[in-house]
Structure 1
């Protein structure tokens, strides 16, 4: 009995049904995760640098915060642009160039003679690194077997607290030993350059190759994956190029029209959740070293304490596996507002440093339960053809909010007080989760479209 082409699996199905091997897909997960780690490292570095550049150039708090704003706005722009670039030049090339641009302009930032140039270089470095999240997620997801994809993509979030913790730990060590904030930037570039060269050996995504009509190259990658995972060879077909989804969904207008036309409620909920929950997190990362120093803690100690807060978040990511058993909405509804209120408790207890540190560690744990669930939930709210653009735009909105939020925070901190500012941020999160409860469905245990 002959086997017809229609009865054969596609090359995409072959890749998605391969067994997981740490020496094959695991390497791509680690290399992609390192890019995600550097994204976290760079974002949290703003919090370490702000009090240092204030002293270097005699800046007030709100002016220094513009450095973080320029960096995050660059990341927001990069997240959109690099998704489209990756569709044109390939996941692998985009995967590599994002980190190279980041490294070059981070070095330039370490040599900047004034604040204006420093902020510009931080913007361009952010633009390069901003492409890591969408490109890394796409590349890792396209090589990960279907059965393991949920766990692997959730585990990608574990690289964030690792990067955040390293950022503050390395900053504290450099300042302790050398006392020079410019070396903090250079210390991040060295491992980033090593990852750049490692990335040169990552195979191109077969999905991208198929989409570009490079069937022979796609078959080489797929056959190599089959061989290296120890799977028996099977015959397969390749889908037509227009059947393979792109990383980006088209122009800005097409993306926005698509996600709002699909459901204005789901898109509004996604943007509200990303904006408010990540605003709380970025406020903590940006201002916690300055808050602790103003409360009387030594600069190096404040960096170490913020690093421990971020490291505790890794335990929260591990705890987030409960999302398969408990509804996404329920977890977000509890951990979102709770993480904000814990920061209020931190502000109230600054007069007793030991108590403030305890609440800070609790915050690091709770917020990192919330964020992986947020990522999973929003990506599941959209159908396949809109999932990339829906998640990407929600992420971009969070970066814009995180960019301008710390500046407003700095302006109003002396006016209405630290605890009241955190209370306002908590109130925004509470409004967002109430809106979610009313307007968005639960996605746990539901089959994705």
Structure 2
């Protein structure tokens, strides 16, 4: 009995209905996650470096914060550039170059003779690393079967607390051994270069190849996935032709216009959630070592305590995976505002360090329930041709907010106090969550387009 073309599944459906295998899709998850880990490591490093470079170059708090701002703005620019590049030239090409640029300019930063040059090199390193999150999420999401996608994409954020905890732990150890912040930068370059080499062997996303009209290449990747996962062989269809516009300076603007034309409510929700929730997290990562030191902790102790806060986040990610069936929107509506309120409690408890540390650990858990669900949710809101750039632009907005936020935080900290600043940030999260509940759909268990 012959099978008509209309009754055949599409290549996209075949990929998204394959069985999950750790040696196949799991390998992509690990490789993508390691790049995500370095993103967290580098962002977190700003909090460890600020008090150290203040001492090295005799800087005040707000001037030193410009280094963090430069790095995060570099990541913001990189997020939308690399997200757009990934949508134009492919996930794999963008996937490999992000870490190489980051590694080269991190080394340059370690040998900077001045604060000005150091700030410039941190910007360029951030630009390279800024592409990791949108590119990695697009690639991993497009290889992951629909039934496992929610858990896998949520689990991707498990790499973030690993990177954040490693950053603070390694920083504390390096300072103890060498008493030189430059070795902190060099300590993360060798593993980053190793991950770059591993990325060279990752296949291109079949969904991207299908959209680009490269049928032979798409069939080769899909057939290989079917064989390696042990799924039954079956006939499937691919589009006759498609096209991907060439990358150009104008195409970035076109991509930005495209995500707003696709659905302005979805894009506005994505941007507002990323801006507010991640602002709360970046404020904690950037300033918590300084806050704890001002409360009387030694520098090494403050770094270790912040590292433990980040490490507790791994439990939060596990919890996020376990409760993922509850729905993305409901989890975000609870954990987003709660994380900000917990930081208010941290700031009110600084007079009793033990209580403050307990609240800090609770924050590490709650925020890492929230963030992985946020990343999974936003990555699912866009179709294939806009997934990298849609997520990338949302990430860009969060990095811009997180870049300028620490400077404003440093300026207003002595004026209105920590509790008020964290309460203002919490209020912004509440507004974003209300907008999400009104304007955006639930994406749990939906097939990607």
TM bucket, shorter chain: over 0.9
Structure 2, unaligned runs of 5 or more: none
Residue 236 of structure 1 aligns to a residue whose secondary structure is coil
Matched, 1:31 2:31: yes
* Equivalent residues, number: 448
> Partner of 1:50 in structure 2?
50
Matched, 1:74 2:74: yes
> Partner of 1:334 in structure 2?
334
Q: Pick closer, same or farther for the CA change 1:245–1:253 going to 2, 3 Å.
A: closer
Q: Pick closer, same or farther for the CA change 1:231–1:246 going to 2, 3 Å.
A: farther
The TM-score, its normalising length taken from structure 1, stands at: 0.92
Choose 80-89 or 205-214, whichever is displaced more: 205-214
Matched, 1:169 2:169: yes
Cα RMSD, aligned residues only: 2.5
Matched, 1:139 2:120: no
> Partner of 1:202 in structure 2?
202
Q: Measure the CA separation in 2 of the matches of 1:221 and 1:283.
A: 42
What does residue range 258-269 of structure 1 map to in structure 2 within 5 Å? 258-269=258-269
Deviation at 1:148, TM superposition (A): 1.5
Q: Measure the CA separation in 1 of the matches of 2:253 and 2:22.
A: 40
Residue 409 of structure 2 aligns to a residue whose secondary structure is helix
Choose 91-100 or 264-273, whichever is displaced more: 264-273
Q: Pick closer, same or farther for the CA change 1:198–1:264 going to 2, 3 Å.
A: closer
Deviation at 1:72, TM superposition (A): 0.8
Deviation at 1:38, TM superposition (A): 0.6
> Partner of 1:84 in structure 2?
84
> Partner of 1:278 in structure 2?
278
Aligned 8 A contact 2:271 2:398 in 1: yes
Choose 153-162 or 136-145, whichever is displaced more: 136-145
Deviation track 1:219-250 (CA, whole Å, cap 9, x = no partner) reads: 332232222222343333332342899999x9
Aligned 8 A contact 1:65 1:410 in 2: yes
Structure 1, unaligned runs of 5 or more: none
> Partner of 2:189 in structure 1?
189
Q: Measure the CA separation in 2 of the matches of 1:352 and 1:376.
A: 37
Deviation track 1:314-337 (CA, whole Å, cap 9, x = no partner) reads: 111111135544343333232222
Q: Measure the CA separation in 1 of the matches of 2:109 and 2:219.
A: 43
> Partner of 2:237 in structure 1?
237
Q: Measure the CA separation in 2 of the matches of 1:223 and 1:405.
A: 48
Deviation at 1:440, TM superposition (A): 4.1
Choose 318-327 or 389-398, whichever is displaced more: 318-327
Q: Pick closer, same or farther for the CA change 1:94–1:269 going to 2, 3 Å.
A: closer
> Partner of 2:408 in structure 1?
408
Q: Pick closer, same or farther for the CA change 1:26–1:448 going to 2, 3 Å.
A: closer
Q: Measure the CA separation in 1 of the matches of 2:434 and 2:63.
A: 35
> Partner of 1:361 in structure 2?
361
Q: Measure the CA separation in 1 of the matches of 2:143 and 2:326.
A: 28
Q: Measure the CA separation in 1 of the matches of 2:356 and 2:31.
A: 36
Choose 257-266 or 62-71, whichever is displaced more: 257-266
The TM-score, its normalising length taken from structure 2, stands at: 0.92
Q: Measure the CA separation in 2 of the matches of 1:319 and 1:296.
A: 33
Deviation at 1:443, TM superposition (A): 4.8
Deviation at 1:98, TM superposition (A): 0.7
Deviation at 1:261, TM superposition (A): 4.1
Matched, 1:10 2:3: no
Deviation at 1:384, TM superposition (A): 6.0
Q: Measure the CA separation in 2 of the matches of 1:253 and 1:176.
A: 47
Aligned 8 A contact 1:210 1:240 in 2: no
Q: Pick closer, same or farther for the CA change 1:29–1:150 going to 2, 3 Å.
A: same
Choose 229-238 or 304-313, whichever is displaced more: 229-238
Deviation at 1:169, TM superposition (A): 0.8
Deviation track 1:354-393 (CA, whole Å, cap 9, x = no partner) reads: 1110010011111111112222333445566655444332
